[in-house]
Structure 1
Amino acid sequence: MKIKVLKDGPYIVEGGVPLYREEMVSYKMIIPQSWKKVEKFETKETYALCRCGLSRNKPFCDGSHREGFDGEETADIEIKDEEIKIFEGQDLDLLDIKHLCASARFCLKGKGIWDMIKESSSKEKYEEIMQIVSNCPSGRLVLKDKNGNYIEPTLEKEISILEDNLKGVSSAIWVKGGIAIESSKGYTYQIRNRVTLCRCGKSKNKPFCDGTHLKINFKDENYYKGK
């Protein structure tokens, strides 16, 4: 299973990767609490996902990128140590890679995950922290125990088209379970458990999402039709 980024074109998904649509769930319609799968797409062994934001058959490519999409990839191949800020807690440490943020906002619950990590990790608090970090689709937030071991959720290899229904916009493409992403330039990006790919076409960190979909009010017309 892998994803190929085509120059100024779509993402080509190979290996029969399951494709879903997920919405945010919130009880107060402010800060999201979880993700919910609401649709499973029918796909072939290989399929193409739009990354220009122009397709009229979202989330799939329909060739609209040929109208002049600049898909130049600007993201680094690997995350640099100096890009990681560490917040030390009593029992857990939180690694924050801010430039990967996809603006999903789970981290803003309560006083925010950055203050929460400082508290003693009772079983209940540990589970709450794990849930918040695991719902961060971009992998901006990662946990480490005091022995230096990474704590990551177990995710199946699959892709989800995310909808920020709380803000009324369409969000990123969530790639789960360590699927390799191959650049149009021939190299493979650092393989990670959770990453988000841009699908509005406007990210400044292509191919990865940087939250620009919120600023430009990006919408998947097929999803929002009739809502």
Structure 2
Amino acid sequence: MSKLKIETGSSPAGERFSITVTEKGPYLVYGRPPLAEQFIMPNENNESWYFQEGRHFSTEAEPTALCRCGASQRKPYCDGSHEKAMWDPTLTAHSEPLLDKAEVIEGGTLDMTDNPKYCVFARFCHPEGDAWSLTEQSSAPEARRMAIREASMCPGGRLTAWDKSSGKPFEFRFEPSLGLIEDVTIGSSGGLWIRGGIALRRETGKTYEIRNRVVVCRCGQSANKPYCDGTHAAIKWRDNLEGEPVGETLPEEVY
């Protein structure tokens, strides 16, 4: 068996947690991680600012089958609609580590890695000045703080802030858990947010790189499956789960 690839700054979840991406059907979730809606909440300028938890869903069935074609009438669960839905289930994503193809933005006290292939259009990278400019200005304490926050809030892991002196990345410490992203501002539902180093693998047993934060497609239309590429925003895909943002919020600080 080949050695697991683990992204720098990430730690694998316990062995009981895993997700299998079936070749032509759903995600099969093992280990019973908590599953809840995660709403992208705006600030006073209508910019993405934090996540707030909504409705919870059971993962007690082992495995729990979650829809990835976008057509199920029992979302977030699979109901077999993938067999008749108009979608292409082909898993097209390459297996190279995310950081291998990432651009490095250099700043005063920070660097930031950026791999646009993993953009999920959550837009946390723009409030208070964009993450790229803030990284370049990171000799200033407030610019540094905001650059770290904006990069670390990126759910798909496109952006990561790195301390220039230690060479270490900044990451929220997530417990193994799953989020169903809901985007209030643009009126769209998003992907499945996999947090805390849960292993994602194909039916062949091949495991994708283990990451602290990654988003996989739920609308069935991504061109980088199993990963989300933001297509849900362009087509205004909705899962109609009818939850409300009334729960806990993502911590404001990374450390």
TM-score for both structures, normalised by structure 1: 0.92
Pairs aligned (count): 225
Q: CA shift at 1:163, angstroms?
A: 0.3
Instruction: Output the CA distance in 1 between the equivalents of 2:154 and 2:49.
Output: 11
Q: For 2:65, give the aligned amino acid.
A: A
Counterpart of 1:10?
A: 26
How has the CA–CA distance of structure 1 residues 70 and 185 changed in structure 2, closer, same or farther, with 3 Å as cutoff?
A: farther
8 Å CA contact 2:95, 2:209 repeated in 1: yes
8 Å CA contact 1:4, 1:11 repeated in 2: yes
User: Do residues 184 (structure 1) and 203 (structure 2) align?
Assistant: yes
Instruction: Output the CA distance in 2 between the equivalents of 1:3 and 1:80.
Output: 19
* Secondary structure of residue in 2 paired with 1:99: helix
Counterpart of 2:228?
A: 209
1:18-33 counterparts in 2 under 5 A? 18-28=34-44, 30-33=46-49
Aligned to 1:198, which of 214, 217, 222? 217
1:15-94 counterparts in 2 under 5 A? 15-28=31-44, 30-44=46-60, 45-68=62-85, 69-79=87-97, 83-94=101-112
Instruction: Output the CA distance in 2 between the equivalents of 1:63 and 1:170.
Output: 20
Counterpart of 1:166?
A: 185
User: Do residues 222 (structure 1) and 241 (structure 2) align?
Assistant: yes
Q: For 2:35, give the aligned amino acid.
A: L
* Secondary structure of residue in 2 paired with 1:65: helix
Unaligned runs of 5+ in 2: 1-16, 245-255
Counterpart of 1:97?
A: 115
TM-score for both structures, normalised by structure 2: 0.83
User: Do residues 127 (structure 1) and 124 (structure 2) align?
Assistant: no
More relative contact order in 1 or in 2 (CA 8 Å, sep 6+)?
Answer: 2
Instruction: Output the CA distance in 2 between the equivalents of 1:120 and 1:198.
Output: 33
Computed over aligned residues only, the root mean square deviation of the Cα atoms, in angstroms, reads 1.9
* Secondary structure of residue in 1 paired with 2:227: coil
Q: For 1:198, give the aligned amino acid.
A: C
Instruction: Output the CA distance in 2 between the equivalents of 1:195 and 1:153.
Output: 13
8 Å CA contact 1:29, 1:166 repeated in 2: no
- 1:27-82 Cα offsets, whole Å, 9 max, x none, are 33631110000122122143111000000111111111111443110001123655
